[in-house]
Amino acid sequence: MKAYEAEYKNITEDEISIKKIQVCAEDFFCGLQEATRMIAEIEDSDWTIQSFKIIDGIDISNFVEPECNCPFCRASKTVLDKIAKFNCPECKELIVVAEDGWEVISCRKCNKELYRHLLGYSEGAWHYTDDDTD
């Protein structure tokens, strides 16, 4: 478990507001998703995350992790026919995620962005098409 800090801003006609929020998560992607969710709950206007980084030197071994709802974590808690298994087109890492409820994820090995609309199921297997011409 790691601690992360997100710095986010909102620009209006009158001012530029910059705030920070800290989250704990298993990895970078889950932390970024949790920070985005928390900002959306806290703030009432459009905010943009400016930076997202790990906070070094924090021991969070006693942290009770909240229920993570990312596609990676949901895959371990869902039925088999709702799980997508496919290889990253960049590094060939096996990706195992819940097949629904996401638009974009990042490969945990190479950080390539993977888009849900490029994932398909045919002939009994999941296939990721890295061609966005459809």
Q: What is the pLDDT of residues 29-75, one digit of tens each?
A: 888 888 888 888 888 778 888 888 888 766 555 555 566 778 888 88
Q: In which residue ranges of the chain is CATH 3.10.20 found?
A: 2-54
Tell me the β-bridge partners of 5. 22, 53
Read off the pLDDT of each residue in 7-26 and give the average, rounded to a whole number. Answer: 84
Mean pLDDT of the chain: 83
Distances (CA, A) of 119 to 52, 62, 90: 27, 38, 14
Q: How far from 99 is each of 68, 72, 88, 105, CA to CA, in Å?
A: 16, 10, 15, 11
The hierarchical CATH code for the domain 2-54 is 3.10.20
Q: Exposed/middle/buried for 70, CB within 10 Å: 0-12, 13-18, 19+?
A: buried
Segments of the chain assigned E as strands: 2-11, 16-25, 48-54, 83-87, 94-98, 104-106, 113-115, 119-122, 125-128
Q: How confident is the model at residue 134 (pLDDT cuts 50, 70, 90)?
A: very low
